[in-house]
């Protein structure tokens, strides 16, 4: 007794079951999509040339989990047939930006530890030749999954891989590509020749509704929490928030985990709806903080200017009316104010992050349009994320009340 850390086992039976990388035994609420996906994979078991498959849908709708689930089964079932040799390679393209990088990663996935190639420095065609050589050496049926493929900026590999056999680059291997994208517009922006080869079979995963999220959360909660820890309504509330936000199972699972963690921190034995609301607030705060910390100094100044105008009851407000306050703040810290156009870009970025909102209005007889901006989020949350900027610029009188107690901050004059 008396160590600094003590085991804390009241709430969770298995907290890891709420993590994204936990693979559930069955997927709930995706029957139709998985049935189509399964049909698209059927040629593999038949010993035929596999289809290229393109899977798309927003984040957290089960694309990766569904793919893992089906491919695990496919690998097991293919093993029953002596004349099928199936190899599956999965590559997440997050953090990769070019076909070249993907090709080198793929080559290395087929090579053993001692024989890896450098991920820079070769001509692209050389890397492709290495890849064809590895694929043919491996032989049999090869499925290559490119997850989050929307991260790559050029589509060369998306053309080359599906066509490798037709182009005479492969003689032994039968390859199929499974491309997975979180971004709807990615498919539309592919060149027609890539689209026709990569998207032979297209499967869309729609967002989840509240009922589906309830099923998903229940399945995981049964594994994750001890019986009786969750009070009535907790799962339903997490699912309702999830359905309202984006129909994203990952986000709902995160909320449930955050709620469990709060219960643990506060040493309560039961998880209530109030705790869900607190957890959601904290997550929201984190999301805003992250969004704001990713902005440049001018983004911070523009946001600060808008907040003070909001406090004075001036919102919704046009960009040109934000400008004087922004310019003033910039001068205050000795930064050159941006030209109006660049300042507007920052307003656009802030509204994309969901921190502020922009409404398009008509100019009247002159026929043009302009935008009006207002603050979309809890001001206190934003102010706490803008801490550093406020310290530098000084506390504007419109928010002085909020900071009355806080003696560490200089008054703005």
Binding residue positions for ATP? 61-65, 208, 220
List C-alpha distances in Å: 254 to 19, 148, 215: 8, 20, 15
Residue 27 sits in the site that holds ligand ADP (CB under 6 A): yes
Query: Residue 62 touches which of ligand ADP, Mg ion, none (CB < 5 to 8 A by kind)?
Result: ligand ADP
Nearer residue to Mg ion within complex by CB, 36 or 58: 58
Known binding residues: 61-65, 208, 220
315-374 positions binding ligand ADP, by CB under 6 A? none
Q: Does residue 241 have a cis bond before it (omega within 30 degrees)?
A: no
29-68 positions binding ligand ADP, by CB under 6 A? 29-30, 57, 59-65
Residue 216 sits in the site that holds ligand ADP (CB under 6 A): yes
Nearer residue to Mg ion within complex by CB, 60 or 260: 60
To ligand ADP, the closest distance from the beta carbon of 66 in angstroms equals 6
To ligand ADP, the closest distance from the beta carbon of 259 in angstroms equals 16
Nearer residue to ligand ADP within complex by CB, 223 or 402: 223
To Mg ion, the closest distance from the beta carbon of 318 in angstroms equals 40
To ligand ADP, the closest distance from the beta carbon of 302 in angstroms equals 32
Nearer residue to ligand ADP within complex by CB, 65 or 93: 65
Nearer residue to ligand ADP within complex by CB, 147 or 201: 147
Could you say which of 11, 28, 214, 347 contacts ligand ADP (CB under 6 A)? 28
Residue 213 sits in the site that holds ligand ADP (CB under 6 A): no
Query: Residue 92 touches which of ligand ADP, Mg ion, none (CB < 5 to 8 A by kind)?
Result: none
# residues near ligand ADP by CB under 6 A: 19
To ligand ADP, the closest distance from the beta carbon of 250 in angstroms equals 4
Residue 291 sits in the site that holds ligand ADP (CB under 6 A): no
Residue 178 sits in the site that holds ligand ADP (CB under 6 A): no
To Mg ion, the closest distance from the beta carbon of 63 in angstroms equals 5
Q: In whole angstroms, what is the distance from residue 37 CA to residue 42 CA?
A: 9
Stretch that binds ligand ADP, among 26-34, 84-92, 97-105, 369-377 (CB under 6 A): 26-34
Nearer residue to ligand ADP within complex by CB, 41 or 375: 41
To ligand ADP, the closest distance from the beta carbon of 278 in angstroms equals 23
3-state per-residue secondary structure call for the chain: CCCCCCCCCCCECCHHHHCCCCCCCCCCCCHHHHHHHHHHHHHHHCCCCCCCEEEECCCCCCHHHHHHHHHHHHHHHHCCCCCCCEEEEEEECCCCCCHHHHHHHHHHHHCCHHHCCCCCCCCHHHHHHHHHHHHHHHCCEEEEEEECHHHCCCCHHHHHHHHCCCCCCCCCCEEEEEEEECCHHHHHCCCHHHHHHHCCEEEECCCCCHHHHHHHHHHHHHHHECCCCECCCHHHHHHHHHHHHCCCHHHHHHHHHHHHHHHHHCCCCCECHHHHHHHHHHHHHHHHHHHHHCCCHHHHHHHHHHHHHHHCCCCCEEHHHHHHHHHHHHHHCCCCCCCHHHHHHHHHHHHHCCCEEEEEEECCCCCCEEEEEEECCCHHHHHHHCHHHHHHHCECHHHCCCCCCCCCCCECC
Residues engaged in binding ligand ADP (CB under 6 A):
20, 24, 27-30, 57, 59-65, 216, 219, 249-250, 253
């Amino acid at each position: 007794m008396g160590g600094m850390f003590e085991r804390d086992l009241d709430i969770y039976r298995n907290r890891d079951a709420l993590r994204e990388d936990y693979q559930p035994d069955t997927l709930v609420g995706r029957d139709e999509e998985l049935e189509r996906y399964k049909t698209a994979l059927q040629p593999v078991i038949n010993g035929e040339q596999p289809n290229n498959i393109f899977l798309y849908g927003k984040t957290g709708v089960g694309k990766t989990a569904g793919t893992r689930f089906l491919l695990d089964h496919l690998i097991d079932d293919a093993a029953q047939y002596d004349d099928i040799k199936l190899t599956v390679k999965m590559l997440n393209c997050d953090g990769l930006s070019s076909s070249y990088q993907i090709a080198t990663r793929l080559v290395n996935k087929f090579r053993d530890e001692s024989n890896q190639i450098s991920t820079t420095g070769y001509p692209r065609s050389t890397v492709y030749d290495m890849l064809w050589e590895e694929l043919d050496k491996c032989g049999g049926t090869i499925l290559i999954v490119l997850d989050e493929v929307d991260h790559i900026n050029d589509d060369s590999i998306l053309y080359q891989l599906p066509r490798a056999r037709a182009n005479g680059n492969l003689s032994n291997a039968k390859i199929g590509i499974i491309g997975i994208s979180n971004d709807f517009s990615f498919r539309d922006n592919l060149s027609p020749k890539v689209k026709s080869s990569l998207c032979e079979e297209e499967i869309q995963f729609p967002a989840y509704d509240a009922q589906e999220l309830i099923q998903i959360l229940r399945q995981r909660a049964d594994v994750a929490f001890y019986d009786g820890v969750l009070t009535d309504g907790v799962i339903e509330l997490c699912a309702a928030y999830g359905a309202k936000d984006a129909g994203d199972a990952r986000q709902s699972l995160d909320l449930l985990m955050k709620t469990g963690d709060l219960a643990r921190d506060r040493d309560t034995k039961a998880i209530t709806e109030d705790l869900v609301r607190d957890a959601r607030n904290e997550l929201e705060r984190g999301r805003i903080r992250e969004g704001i910390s990713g902005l440049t100094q001018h983004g911070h100044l523009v946001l600060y200017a808008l907040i003070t105008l909001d406090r004075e009851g001036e919102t919704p407000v046009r960009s040109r009316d934000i400008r004087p306050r922004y310019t003033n703040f910039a001068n205050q810290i000795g930064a050159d104010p941006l030209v109006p156009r660049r300042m507007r870009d920052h307003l656009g970025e802030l509204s994309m992050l969901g921190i502020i909102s922009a409404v398009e209005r008509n100019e009247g007889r002159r026929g043009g349009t302009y935008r009006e901006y207002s603050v979309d989020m809890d001001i206190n949350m934003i102010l706490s994320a803008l801490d550093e900027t406020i310290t530098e610029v000084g506390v504007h009188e419109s928010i002085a009340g909020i900071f009355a107690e806080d003696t560490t901050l200089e008054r703005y004059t």
